[in-house]
Amino acid sequence: MMQPSATDALFDALGDGTRRAILEQLRAGPLPVVEITRRLPVGRPAVSQHLKVLKEAGLVSAQQDGTRRRYQLDPAGITAVRAWLDGLWGQALDAYKTAVEQDRVS
């Protein structure tokens, strides 16, 4: 069986609505699990599991703050998502340019 790529892990993590909602919350800055949980319709164990997936994908990182962990967006993971999307967009624009140029010749 093929190993999933880092890009696959990123987009698999982003494929879940709860995980996207967690990322939205973290846009404003680091938060502890308890605060993230207050804003979601799922319990703390589920939020912790979602954070684990996001962390393994490289989208969030955690720092110990006393007895709590504070989660924050990981710029490297966000940059990787953006780079992949930029590459996809670049390919789409190149294909569009080629199609327009072929239309002109026809």
- C-beta separation of 35 from 7 below 8 A: no
Q: Is residue 1 part of a domain?
A: no
Q: Answer whether residue 1 shows pLDDT above 70.
A: no
Chain-wide mean pLDDT for the chain? 89
Q: Is residue 21 part of a domain?
A: yes
- Rounded Cα distance, 59 and 16, in Å: 13
- C-beta separation of 26 from 60 below 8 A: yes
Task: Tell whether pTM > 0.85.
Answer: no
Domain count, the chain: 1
CATH number for 56: 1.10.10.10
Q: Is residue 22 part of a domain?
A: yes
Q: Is residue 60 part of a domain?
A: yes
Average pLDDT score over residue span 83-105: 78
Range of the domain at 84: 6-105
Q: Is residue 91 part of a domain?
A: yes
Residue at token pair 């703390």: 44
CA neighbor of 87 nearest in space, from 14, 23, 6, 7: 7
pLDDT at 91: 76
Q: Answer whether residue 33 shows pLDDT above 80.
A: yes
- C-beta separation of 57 from 10 below 8 A: yes
